[in-house]
Amino acid sequence: MNDLIIEAQLSKTEVFERVENFLSKKGFKVSSKDESRPWGGFFVLEESQIKNFKSEFFDEVALSDGQLNQKLSPKFLLVAPGARLSWQYHFRRAELWKLIAGETAISRSQSDEQGPVEKMIKGKVVSLKKGERHRLIGTNNWGVVAEIWMHSNPENPSDEDDIVRLQDDYSRK
């Protein structure tokens, strides 16, 4: 599926460079990137490339032409070893995740109480429902996760502000 190799000893800058080169070789255009997150960061890809992104990383997921014509916000999340995203949920989106390279774990629950930590399996799709509590967790290596947002209301799509943080290692609200 891919040729992205990430080693634990790489610096954040090196990991971002590798992922950006990987995306470029695959023909994807980055619309924005954020390297400032305390847990790592992310790349947002051009929305016009969603069909190629879905074909490359989520081919086993059935999406209708109507869904593919809506905003799906294709992204790559980069999680540093030992770092954790917020224990969080969203009001306006469900999410699809797939581990592409490296290692990560996930915790999820239907309640505010954090669920058990489970290692993510490379190539296996994780489907998070709107409102489902979740946390992406870095383990012993950097983790690279492809993500699609499934907006619950296409007229009012989700954004980075649609995060309800229940717990955050970095004291973010």
For the chain, the average pLDDT equals 92
Count of domains observed in the chain? 1
Closest CA to 124 of 140, 108, 142, 106: 106
CA distances to 13, 21, 23 from 17, rounded to whole Å, are 6, 6, 10
CATH (domain of 147): 2.60.120.10
> Which tokens belong to 77?
């999340």
Domain-embedded: residue 47: yes
Indicate whether 1 belongs to any domain. Answer: no
Residue 123 within any structural domain of the chain? yes
26-74 pLDDT, tens per residue? 999 999 999 999 999 999 999 999 999 999 999 999 887 777 777 788 9
The pLDDT tens digits of the residues spanning 118-143 come to 999 999 999 999 999 999 999 999 99
Is 115 inside any structural domain?
yes
Name the pTM for this structure: 0.93
pLDDT of residue 2: 60
Specify if 3 maps to a domain: no
Query: What is the spatial distance between Cα 2 and Cα 93, in angstroms, rounded to a whole number?
Result: 27
Structural domain contains residue 146: yes
DSSP letter, residue 49: G
Strand residues in the chain grouped as ranges (E): 30-34, 40-45, 75-79, 87-89, 93-109, 117-119, 125-128, 133-151, 164-167
> Residue with structure tokens 């954090």?
114
DSSP tally for the chain: helices H, then strands E: 3, 9
Residue 173 lies in a domain: no
Structural domain harbouring 21? 12-153+163-167
φ/ψ (deg, to 5) at 69: -90, -5
CA–CA separation, 102 vs 36, rounded Å?
Answer: 20
Q: What is the reported pLDDT for 154?
A: 79
Position 68 in a domain = yes
Residue 96 has a pLDDT of 96
